[in-house]
Chain A
Amino acid sequence: MKLMKHLAGVMIASTCLCAPALAQTELTMWYHGAGNEVESRIINQIISDFNASQSDWQVSLESFPQGSYNDSIVAAALAGNLPDIVDVDGPIMPNWAWAGYLQPLPIDESEFADFLPGTKGVWEGKLYSIGLWDAAVALYARQSTLDDLGLRTPTLDNPWSGEEFIAALDAAKASGKFEYALDLGMNDQGEWYPYAFSPFLQSFGGDIVDRSTYQTAEGALNGDAALAFGEWWQSLFTGGYAPGTSEDPADQETGFIDGRFAFQWNGNWRAVATMEAVDDVVFLPAPDFGAGNKIGAGSWQFGVSASSDHPEGAAEFIKFATQDKYLAAFSDAIGLIPSTPSAAEMTENYKDGGPLAVFYDLSEAQALVRPVTPGYVVQSKIFTKAMADIANGADVADTLDAAVDEIDADIQSNDGYGH
Chain B
Amino acid sequence: MAAITPDNHGLRLFVRYLVLSLIALIFVFPLVFMAVSSFKPTAQLLSDTSSLRAFLPVGDLSFNNYADAFRRAPVGLFVFNSVLITGTTVLLSLLICSLAGFSFAFLRWKGRDVVLSIIIATLIIPFETIAIPLLLQVSKLPWIGLQGLEWGWLNTYRVQIIPWIADGLTIFLFVQYFKGLPGELIEASRVEGASWWQIYYRVVMPLSGPVVATAAILKFLIMYNQYLWPLIVVQQESYRPVMVGLGYFFQLNVVWGEVMAYLTLITVPVLAFYLFLQRAFIASIASTGVKG
Interfacial residues, chain A to chain B (CB-CB below 8 A): 30, 34-37, 62-68, 71-72, 75-76, 78-81, 248-250, 253-254, 267, 269-270, 273
Contact = CB atoms under 8 A, between A and B. Distances in A.
B135 A78 contact: yes
Contacts of B73: 34-35
Given A79-B136, A79-B154, A34 B237 contact: yes
Given A75-B135, A254-B46, A36 B235 contact: no
B51 interface: no
Contacts of A267: 252
A296 B212 CA distance: 56
Given A81-B139, A254-B46, 7 more contacts: A65-B245, A66-B251, A76-B232, A76-B235, A79-B135, A80-B139, A81-B154
Most buried by A among B231, B235, B250: B235
Contacts of A81: 139, 152, 154, 235
B232 A75 contact: yes
B178 to A, nearest CB: 39
Interface string B13-45: 000000000000000000000000000000100
A67 B247 contact: yes
A270 B249 CA distance: 17
Nearest to B42: A253
A62 B236 contact: yes
Contact of B248 (A65, A76, A78): A65
B49 interface: yes
Contacts of A269: 252-253
A35 B252 CA distance: 11
A37 B46 contact: no
Nearest to B247: A65
27 contacts: A34-B247, A34-B248, A35-B73, A35-B248, A35-B249, A62-B235, A64-B247, A65-B245, A65-B247, A65-B248, A66-B247, A68-B231, A68-B244, A71-B231, A72-B231, A72-B235, A76-B232, A76-B235, A78-B132, A79-B152, A80-B139, A81-B139, A248-B49, A253-B46, A254-B43, A269-B253, A270-B252
Nearest to A249: B254
A37 B71 CA distance: 8
B47 interface: yes
B43 to A, nearest CB: 7
Interface of B: 43, 46-47, 49, 71-73, 132, 135-136, 139, 152, 154, 231-233, 235-237, 244-254
A222 B236 CA distance: 45
B48 to A, nearest CB: 10
Given A37-B71, A75-B232, A81-B154, A273 B253 contact: yes
B49 A35 contact: no
Contacts of A76: 232, 235
A273 B43 CA distance: 13
Closest 3 CB pairs of A and B: A65-B247, A35-B248, A75-B232
B237 to A, nearest CB: 7
Contacts of A273: 253
A267 B253 CA distance: 11
A249 B259 CA distance: 14
Contacts of B46: 250, 253-254
A226 to B, nearest CB: 29
A270 B254 CA distance: 11
Contacts of A72: 231-232, 235
B71 to A, nearest CB: 7
Given A75-B135, A79-B139, A81-B139, A63 B237 contact: yes
Contacts of B253: 253, 269-270, 273
Contact of B233 (A30, A75, A248): A75
A260 B249 CA distance: 27
Most buried by B among A34, A62, A78: A34
Most buried by A among B245, B252, B254: B252
Nearest to A28: B235
B136 A78 contact: yes
Nearest to A254: B46
Nearest to A30: B235
A64 B139 CA distance: 20
Contacts of A249: 254
A296 to B, nearest CB: 15
Contact of A65 (B135, B139, B152, B244): B244
Contacts of B49: 248, 250
Nearest to A83: B235
A34 to B, nearest CB: 5
Nearest to A36: B251
Contacts of B246: 65
Contacts of A34: 73, 237, 247-248
